[in-house]
């Protein structure tokens, strides 16, 4: 599957949550928490499974708790949709790329996603 944009994932999530709730996708706010939609645990698990199938990759079963809004989850799942990180040119050229990122230029969601990615890599 081609890399999906943040907006594609947001639309997919909004449509699926709307379907679960029996409403229209345009009534789903991308910045409301999944909890605020009143989804039962089984709904959240089902949504995660459907999203996993749609993306064609394994996802953490607690992903909706780690990224509690549609927008935050979409940013995490579609890093290419986020602005490219700014490189700090004051560091030596041979510094690892992750050290060259200018964290101050990232949104909170981007910084959190980077941190969680690094923590996951450490657990592997």
Sequence ranges of the chain with CATH classification 1.10.1200.10 = 1-81
Question: Widest CA span of the chain, in angstroms?
Answer: 55
Q: Are 53 and 80 in contact, with CB atoms under 8 Å apart?
A: no
Rounded Cα distance between 83 and 88, Å, is 15
Give the model's pLDDT for residue 108: 64
Rounded Cα distance between 86 and 100, Å, is 8
Q: Are 55 and 4 in contact, with CB atoms under 8 Å apart?
A: yes
Rounded Cα distance between 70 and 37, Å, is 11
CATH number of 1-81: 1.10.1200.10
Query: Considering only CA atoms, which of 80, 119, 85, 116 is closest in space to residue 103?
Result: 85
> Does pLDDT of 19 surpass 90?
yes
Q: Are 17 and 28 in contact, with CB atoms under 8 Å apart?
A: yes
pLDDT per residue over 65-108, tens digit each? 889 999 999 999 986 443 444 444 444 455 455 444 555 555 66
pLDDT per residue over 22-67, tens digit each? 999 999 999 999 989 988 888 888 888 899 999 988 888 788 888 9
**How many Å separate Cα 97 from the centre of its chain?**
21
> Does pLDDT of 13 surpass 60?
yes
Residue 115: pLDDT band with limits 50, 70, 90: low
């Amino acid at each position: 599957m081609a890399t999906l944009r943040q907006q594609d994932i947001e639309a997919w999530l909004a449509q699926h949550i709307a379907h679960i709730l029996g409403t229209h996708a345009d009534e789903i706010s991308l910045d409301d928490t999944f909890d605020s939609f009143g989804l039962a645990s089984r709904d959240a698990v089902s949504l995660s499974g459907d999203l996993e199938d749609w993306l064609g990759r394994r996802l953490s079963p607690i992903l909706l708790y780690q990224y509690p809004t549609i927008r935050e989850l979409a940013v995490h799942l579609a890093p290419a949709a986020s602005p490219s990180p700014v490189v700090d040119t004051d560091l030596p050229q041979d510094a690892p790329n992750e050290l060259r990122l200018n964290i101050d230029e990232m949104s909170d969601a981007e910084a959190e996603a980077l941190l969680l990615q690094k923590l996951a890599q450490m657990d592997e």
